[in-house]
Structure 1
Amino acid sequence: MSDKILVTGASGQLGGAVIRHLLETEGVAPARVVAVTRDPAKLSALAGRGVDVRAGSFDEEAGLTRAFAGADTVLIVSTDDVLTPGLRLRQHLAAVSAAKAAGAGRIAYTSMPSPEPGNPVLFASDHHGTENAIRASGIPHSIFRNGWYHENLMRSLPAALASGNWYTSAGEGRTSYILRDDIARAIAAGLARPDAGNATYTLSGTQAFTNGEIAAMAGEVLGKPIAVVNLTDEQLAEGLKAAGLPEPAIPLIVSLEAATRAGVLGTVTQDVERLTGREPSPLKAWLEANRGVLAG
């Protein structure tokens, strides 16, 4: 069995960061790293460093099997189409099947916190189905249940700062936000130095916050007060529609708010520190670092 570590979605933000940490933080030799992407031309810089860059599409299982050939560990970075019913799960199942056909010795996967039935997030079932397929494959696995990125707040905070109001139906629910790069660092550590057997990690920040607490923190850092306006899910959906959001996206956004309210996204663990030896960066530090972008 080879010792090659393969990363899908290598031209994406998370996949690219995982590869960077494999090379620069974990000291993995470039020749051991395989980067799979739809468009290898985008990764010419990695190829120039000695990384094995291969073409592969989640929509073509046979091609994935060829791309995965010779890899010991295959990291399946979850795909990003969350609005087309069934597509994401089909893509993930194709990747699991391809990893098995290619003879992978370990499958790793980027999931989400608590994807089991009962999670209100509309795409949670995609992750649950993929995790089940990985377990059913009989191949040793590492599942990384990624918390919500600090960067996701770019979707809500700028508008809240501009208007002075944060419209939400999350109530007093909490979210354990974490920097995307801290997640990538933890995944790279788990790939380079895997636990024996099977492992499931929940990668979270060190603290979970309500939207009200985040608004107060952001207001303090940015010098602009934000009032949290609590709505029902129905009122939020109506407001999003009036604001011109695409119809398919509205139920998804509301489901995220419902999940926050239910406590699904507020789990706090020490898995990041255990994997990397360091605590993840606090939310306040991210707010301070992005003061200019958030304030507009």
Structure 2
Amino acid sequence: MSAFDNVPFLVTGASGHLGRIAVEELLARGATTIIAGTRDPSKLADLSAKGVELRKLDFNDPASLPAAFAGVERVLLVSTDGVGARRAQHEAAIAAAKQAGVRHLVYTSAPAARPNADAGLNPEHFWTEIALAASGLGFTILRNHMYAENNLADAAHVIASGQLFGLIGDRGTAYVTRADAARTAAGALLSAEGDSIEDVTGPAAVTNEQRAALYADISGKPVAVVPLMPADLKAGMVAAGIPEGFAEVLVAFQRDAVSGHHGVVTDVVERYTGRKPQALGDFLRANKAALAG
């Protein structure tokens, strides 16, 4: 039993990858009143059959928010995919939660959230954290580190080319799987009290050199790291067809790895889930087929 098993929970973005796993974890851990918020409730009919209440919740439709938050005591606010609009979306959700009488809100943020103009996606998370801290709600901010799944986007290309491009001075990234992050969020909903900011990480910081070695070991093909300066890395991304704005975001992630922001390692996953987080190597081996392209 957890401290809040029997109170009404709302999970936003419940049809997304993280939100859905969080709902399933709440079910598995005995939560009795779970509300899944989503733009399209028809996508979650199977969860409805398991006793989950479905509510329409569209961050682009502020009028949908009061009904979605009504009667809820604890909320998991999964950061939206509306880059550029997220701050306004999140602030509207926090305001609706406060108006509805929500007591505690768990938010999925990012490591080293800060307002700096060169901080990639971090400013939107930073201002959300500020709004949440000023709201008067109890809060748990979960700064999810880089998802292990992000490696699958280009791992096949890296292996095929034999080259992994990264910034000079990389100090490692504590990759965490989306499933571990989602289960952690569910655990925080069930038990977190007071106000806290926590880094959600994998079990170790993995450098580009170590990641290249994992790719080589799993694929049987040599992979070498090519260290670059930020301007050269961005130029290479743009030349490869990545939009300039997104390339800048990707470089910002790597700058944070150089500065050490992504190398933090904590016990937060194990504390909220009772299980150790999956290591990047184990995750990549479990997804070996994706590494072949």
What range describes the TM-score normalised by the shorter chain of this pair?
over 0.9
Which among 11, 14, 20 is matched to residue 7 of structure 1? 11
CA apart distance, 1:14 = 0.4
Task: Classify the secondary structure of the residue corresponding to 1:34.
Answer: strand
8 Å CA contact 1:119–1:259 kept in 2: the answer is no
CA apart distance, 1:9 = 0.3
Give the 4+ runs in structure 1 shifted more than 6 A.
Answer: none
What is the CA–CA distance in structure 2 between the aligned matches of 1:170 and 1:34, rounded to whole Å? 46
Which among 27, 30, 35 is matched to residue 27 of structure 1? 30
What is the CA–CA distance in structure 2 between the aligned matches of 1:156 and 1:233, rounded to whole Å? 19
- Equivalent residue letter for 1:42: K
CA apart distance, 1:136 = 0.6
Query: In the TM superposition, what whole-angstrom CA distance separates every residue of 1:18-51 from its partner, at most 9, and x where no partner exists?
Result: 0011111x1212xx00000001111111112111
8 Å CA contact 1:170–1:260 kept in 2: the answer is no
Within 5 Å, give how 1:109-124 maps onto structure 2.
109-117=107-115, 120-124=118-122
- Equivalent residue letter for 1:173: R
Query: In the TM superposition, what whole-angstrom CA distance separates every residue of 1:65-88 from its partner, at most 9, and x where no partner exists?
Result: 211100100111001133x3xx11
CA apart distance, 1:156 = 2.9
Which ranges in structure 2 are unaligned for 5 or more consecutive residues?
none
What is the CA–CA distance in structure 1 between the aligned matches of 2:216 and 2:123, rounded to whole Å? 36
Query: In the TM superposition, what whole-angstrom CA distance separates every residue of 1:191-211 from its partner, at most 9, and x where no partner exists?
Result: 1122x3122221101110111
8 Å CA contact 1:170–1:258 kept in 2: the answer is no
What is the CA–CA distance in structure 2 between the aligned matches of 1:119 and 1:153, rounded to whole Å? 25
Within 5 Å, give how 1:226-237 maps onto structure 2.
226-237=223-234
What is the CA–CA distance in structure 2 between the aligned matches of 1:34 and 1:139, rounded to whole Å? 19
What is the CA–CA distance in structure 2 between the aligned matches of 1:181 and 1:283, rounded to whole Å? 13
What is the CA–CA distance in structure 1 between the aligned matches of 2:64 and 2:127, rounded to whole Å? 22
Aligned partner of 1:129 in structure 2 is 127
**Identity among equivalent pairs (%):** 40
Aligned partner of 2:250 in structure 1 is 253
TM-score, normalisation: structure 2: 0.94
What is the CA–CA distance in structure 1 between the aligned matches of 2:285 and 2:117, rounded to whole Å? 32
CA apart distance, 1:130 = 0.7
What is the CA–CA distance in structure 2 between the aligned matches of 1:217 and 1:155, rounded to whole Å? 16
8 Å CA contact 1:116–1:124 kept in 2: the answer is yes
Within 5 Å, give how 1:159-238 maps onto structure 2.
159-169=157-167, 171-194=169-192, 196-238=193-235
Q: Does the alignment pair 1:295 with 2:292?
A: yes
Task: Classify the secondary structure of the residue corresponding to 2:252.
Answer: helix
CA apart distance, 1:118 = 5.2
CA RMSD of the aligned region, Å?
Answer: 1.6
CA apart distance, 1:117 = 4.3
- Equivalent residue letter for 1:181: A
- Equivalent residue letter for 1:12: G
Deviates further, 134-143 or 247-256: 247-256
Deviates further, 253-262 or 14-23: 253-262
What is the CA–CA distance in structure 1 between the aligned matches of 2:71 and 2:122, rounded to whole Å? 31
CA apart distance, 1:273 = 1.2
